[in-house]
Amino acid sequence: MTPAVSSDLRSALRCAAALGVLALAGACSSAPVRIGPRPPANPTLLSAAEGSGCGFLLLNLLPLGVNGRLHAAYREAQVALGERDVVDSRITERWYAIPLVGTMLCTEIEATAVQ
């Protein structure tokens, strides 16, 4: 190989590595989830509810439904509360490892409805 070809090959490999890093970094992002409006000044507590959402990391590399679990948990709690405003949200994360397969990631939300 001539030095010019070797330099071109190195540049191409650097570019491919940079694109790979950017692709991996972009794959691990999700949209922000609003956890409810600002509560009123003197809220009247009505009822409590909870919701959960799970996703799976296949081989601990490939996310399957992982980014939407918080949204799913919040929606489930919101439906149980009858679409009322929510305060005092508590979020719990749980992980369940399955050897040689991956990890189950679950998010649970406990919330209180106000009027």
Domain ranges of the chain: 1-30, 42-115
Predicted model pTM? 0.60
pLDDT of residue 103: 92
* Mean pLDDT score, 56-79: 87
Residue % of the chain over a pLDDT of 70: 81
Q: Is residue 84 classed exposed, middle or buried when 0-12, 13-18 and 19+ CB atoms within 10 A define those classes?
A: middle
Question: Which position has the higher pLDDT, 45 or 72?
Answer: 72
Report how far residue 90's alpha carbon sits from residue 81's, in angstroms, rounded to the nearest whole number: 15
Class of the CATH domain delimited by 42-115: alpha beta
Q: What band does 106 get if pLDDT is binned at 50, 70 and 90?
A: very high
Residue 54 vs residues 11, 82, 94: alpha-carbon distances, Å = 42, 22, 9
Residue showing tokens 């189950």: 104
pLDDT, the chain, mean = 80
For residue range 70-105, what is the model confidence (pLDDT) as tens digits? 888 888 888 888 777 777 788 889 999 988 899 999
